[in-house]
Amino acid sequence: MSEDKKLDCPHCGERMNKWKTPADSTWGTEFQYVCFNDECPYFVKGWDWIMQQRKARASYRHRYNPVTGKSGPVPVWSNDALKDNIIREEEEAKEEE
Ligand SMILES: [Zn+2]
């Protein structure tokens, strides 16, 4: 698999967003990639799964850690949860000008 392909969500095929890892997390990386597609089947099915398993209204999104090469779920409690931490590549580029 090419480096580029790894940044596509394996569940929906959409390009994942660069996402700033919260300071209080234990992942130990500056940023990761998270699929923020609200139609992603992984995210859509997660609501039912967590409701059944834990009786809680929450879901998870697909997360890829480029440092370790590992991927896994990141828990979310709403459609917009965690979106504040998305790093917009265009904005990054602008700051460098
Ligand atoms: Zn996805």
* Rounded distance between C-alpha atoms, residue 71 and residue 80, angstroms: 21
- Check whether 1 has a pLDDT greater than 60: no
% of the chain exceeding 90 in pLDDT: 76
Q: What is the pLDDT, as a whole number, of residue 28?
A: 84
Q: What would the pLDDT profile of 2-18 be if each residue is shown by its tens digit?
A: 567 789 999 999 999 99
Distance between Cα 61 and ligand 1 center (Å)? 7
Which residues does residue 59 pair with via DSSP β-bridges, in sequence order? 76
Residues 6+ apart with CB under 8 A from 28: 21, 67
* Rounded distance between C-alpha atoms, residue 26 and residue 50, angstroms: 22
Distance between Cα 90 and ligand 1 center (Å)? 21
64 neighbors 73 (Cβ within 8 angstroms) = no
Distance between Cα 15 and ligand 1 center (Å)? 8
Distance between Cα 94 and ligand 1 center (Å)? 27
